[in-house]
């Protein structure tokens, strides 16, 4: 097995990492969850997380964008910030950011090598770290980078759930639960209340809970009870009923910054942190690839507008389509290109899509556990959608773009961030 002295390039280290269990590529019914392997790795790495001030963000949807907005506000205040996120769209370096930019490949390679060496040491010793997964090791590497970077703050996005997620080995001063919907029910539970209990498990005694969940909501009541048991205040932003996804995410991030400011946290100039740090420029700079991302694709009939969005649960797709319906420069019918993981509610997703799209082209991701393109097409037809199937994503993209061009419409690529990542390079930024 390579050691830290001979595995210096990122591709070589990733090849070593990819030998571990990666639950992002497997059916999750048998997924092992627990923090003991993560804690063992971190102890072997001299507890890099112990020096970090952490804002921990979970929830069903929006957590990545909220993390990026918090990071942008802290950076605008002159602070040194790290952000850990998942999944990535095009490069694994997107998962570990310093000052708003993906970490250098050499830095990630060194940290991953150290974490993999810790895993090997645990295997030899027969301790809990022997069972560490791909995500455990990557998380340990990210925390190692952050621990060495002299950060003022680390913004950490939950991978899956919260209570038993690898990221929950950190101690945070603020926990954010963006929202709760039915997802990963085979792991987290089959009610919103059960899922809320898992997600609010990132909350630590004395920290603040920031959430959109109301006290009368099924999931919100669970969150409030957990917060009360830990002597934690619950902070809820004022969000108008018709707020866009961007507005809701900004309200959550702004409330985090306001809370930090009133708790004594200051920017580099000594000014208390506050929501005003999230001005228009900061919000624009915090936009992530594959989240309501506007692109275009060239066809024989001209350029077609494209929206890339990794929505994969019905309620989030409904919000995405609601926001896009308000966009003045998306004309004509929506043609959708869809692939979905096997544990997602494909029928519910396509029910929502049928209210807005004129046609759908269904595809699949060969190396991901997922719904077959033909099965998705059958579900779409059952919803009254005009539907086609093309197993190869590039073939499906060409067909969907051609349909949009022929009909004077636009293309929505959705259902999976992995699909977005696979096809993003086939698109280009729109003209300014």
293-426 CATH pick, 3.90.190.20, 3.90.180.10, 3.90.1150.10, 3.40.50.300: 3.90.190.20
Per the document, the length of the chain is: 432
Checking 192-198 for CB contacts under 8 A at 24+ apart, the result is 192/218, 192/219, 193/218, 193/219, 193/221, 193/222, 195/60, 195/161, 195/219, 196/220, 196/222, 196/223, 197/163, 197/222, 197/226, 198/161, 198/162, 198/163, 198/164
pLDDT digits (tens, 9 = 90+) for 112-169: 999 999 999 999 999 999 999 999 999 999 999 999 999 999 999 999 889 999 999 9
Q: What are the pLDDT digits (tens) for 67-86?
A: 999 999 999 999 999 999 99
Q: If you average pLDDT over every residue of the chain, what do you get?
A: 92
pLDDT over threshold 80, residue 185: no
- Residue 270, pLDDT > 90, answer yes
Helix then strand count (H, E) for the chain reads 15, 14
**In this model, does residue 261 exceed pLDDT 90?**
yes
Return the closest-CA partner of residue 114 out of 141, 90, 96. Answer: 141
Judge if the upstream peptide bond of residue 232 is cis by omega within 30 degrees of 0.
no
The domain ranges of the chain are: 10-285, 293-426
Cα gap 113→107, rounded to integer Å: 10
Nearest to 196 by CA among 188, 206, 204: 188
CATH of segment(s) 10-285: 3.40.1190.10
pLDDT over 80 at 236, yes or no: yes
Confidence (pLDDT) at 5 = 41
Q: Are strands 81-84 and 96-98 parallel, antiparallel or unpaired?
A: antiparallel
- β-partners of residue 386 are 359
Torsion from C-alpha of 367, 364, 26, 344, nearest 10 degrees: 160
pLDDT score, position 4: 42
Q: 308-355: per-residue pLDDT in tens?
A: 999 988 989 999 999 999 888 898 999 999 999 887 889 999 999 999
Evaluate whether 10-285 and 293-426 have a shared fold: no
Task: Pick the more confident residue, 361 or 61.
Answer: 361
Cβ atoms of 164 and 117 closer than 8 Å: no
Per residue in 4-61, pLDDT (tens digit) is 444 479 999 999 999 987 655 555 445 556 899 999 999 999 999 999 999 999 998 9
Poorest-pLDDT segment among 220-234, 264-278, 357-371: 357-371
Strands, E assignment, 40-161: 54-58, 81-84, 96-98, 101-102, 153-157
């Amino acid at each position: 097995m390579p050691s830290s002295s001979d595995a210096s390039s990122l591709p070589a280290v990733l090849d070593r990492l990819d030998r571990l269990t990666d639950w992002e590529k497997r059916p999750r019914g048998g997924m092992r969850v627990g923090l003991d392997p993560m804690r063992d790795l971190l102890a072997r790495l001299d507890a890099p997380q112990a020096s970090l001030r952490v804002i921990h963000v979970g929830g069903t949807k929006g957590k990545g964008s909220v993390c990026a907005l918090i990071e942008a506000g802290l950076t605008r205040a002159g602070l040194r910030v790290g952000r850990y996120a998942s999944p990535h769209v095009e490069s694994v370096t997107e998962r570990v950011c310093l000052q708003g930019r993906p970490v250098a490949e050499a830095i990630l390679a060194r940290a991953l090598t150290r974490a993999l060496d810790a895993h090997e040491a645990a295997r030899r010793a027969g301790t809990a770290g022997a069972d560490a997964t791909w995500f455990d090791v990557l998380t340990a590497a990210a925390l190692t980078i952050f621990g060495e970077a002299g950060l003022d703050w680390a913004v950490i996005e939950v991978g899956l759930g919260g209570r038993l997620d690898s990221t929950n080995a950190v101690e945070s001063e603020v926990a954010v639960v963006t929202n709760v919907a039915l997802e990963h029910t085979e792991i987290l539970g089959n009610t919103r209340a059960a899922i809320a209990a898992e997600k609010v498990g990132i909350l630590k005694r004395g920290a603040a809970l920031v959430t959109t969940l109301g006290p009368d909501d099924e999931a919100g009541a669970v969150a409030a009870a957990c917060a009360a048991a830990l002597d934690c205040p619950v902070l809820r932003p004022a969000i108008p009923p018709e707020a866009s996804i961007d507005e809701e995410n900004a309200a959550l991030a702004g409330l985090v910054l306001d809370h930090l400011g009133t708790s004594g946290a200051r920017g580099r100039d000594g000014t208390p942190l506050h929501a005003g740090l999230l001005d228009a420029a900061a919000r624009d700079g915090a936009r992530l690839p594959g989240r309501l991302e506007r692109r275009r694709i060239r066809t024989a009939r001209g350029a077609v507008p494209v929206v890339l969005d990794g929505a994969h649960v019905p309620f989030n797709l409904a919000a995405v389509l609601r926001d896009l319906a308000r966009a003045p420069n998306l004309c004509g019918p929506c043609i959708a290109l869809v692939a979905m993981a096997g544990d997602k509610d494909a029928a519910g997703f396509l029910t929502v899509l049928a209210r807005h799209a004129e046609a759908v082209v269904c595809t699949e991701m060969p190396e991901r556990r997922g719904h077959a393109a033909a099965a998705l097409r059958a579900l779409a037809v059952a919803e009254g959608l005009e539907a086609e199937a093309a197993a190869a994503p590039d073939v499906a993209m060409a067909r969907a773009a051609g349909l949009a061009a022929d009909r004077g419409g636009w293309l929505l690529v959705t259902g999976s961030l992995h699909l977005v990542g696979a096809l993003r390079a086939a698109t280009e930024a729109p003209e300014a």
